[in-house]
Structure 1
């Protein structure tokens, strides 16, 4: 895995296999269930590569706590074992059609 070059963020496409990305986490936020007190449902972040291309990443509610301890805003990471999907238009944060999904199997 060490010899595999990272995929550039602008080359990520929904449902494609990408072995590795190298990014900086420029922002992290937690989504909550409206009307509840501190019940987080997902961890969201904006990932930026060396060429300043951005994509949004997130976790499911099941993997929220695992990933929350692995990443921090401002940190640079090589990330493997993730999935990509098409982002819904109403949830789009950056100008990228792809959404990176992290799970407890994602390696940072």
Structure 2
């Protein structure tokens, strides 16, 4: 699996080097870094996504996951709530938000 992640990152970097700059590319890069547990790199890529498309719910969601993985609960909750506000019917956002709230003993918000 790590080999495929490395290949995906290399392809994303090559596309960026060729001048392809889109929110989808930086989102893919952020997802790939997140899957590889490279949280700082994931956050940087997702920040680029949000500069290009500030209302991108997937980027907000993945930022929430990255912050949750680094135990920054306040940031994680903020980004998950922002993602939910932009895509309220996405069950994975609801699931992760409920999981995080429950894990930190805040079930009244879930």
Smaller-chain TM-score bracket: under 0.3
Query: Which protein has the bigger strand share?
Result: 1
Q: Which has the higher contact order (CA 8 A, sep 6+)?
A: 1
Structure with bigger gyration radius: 2
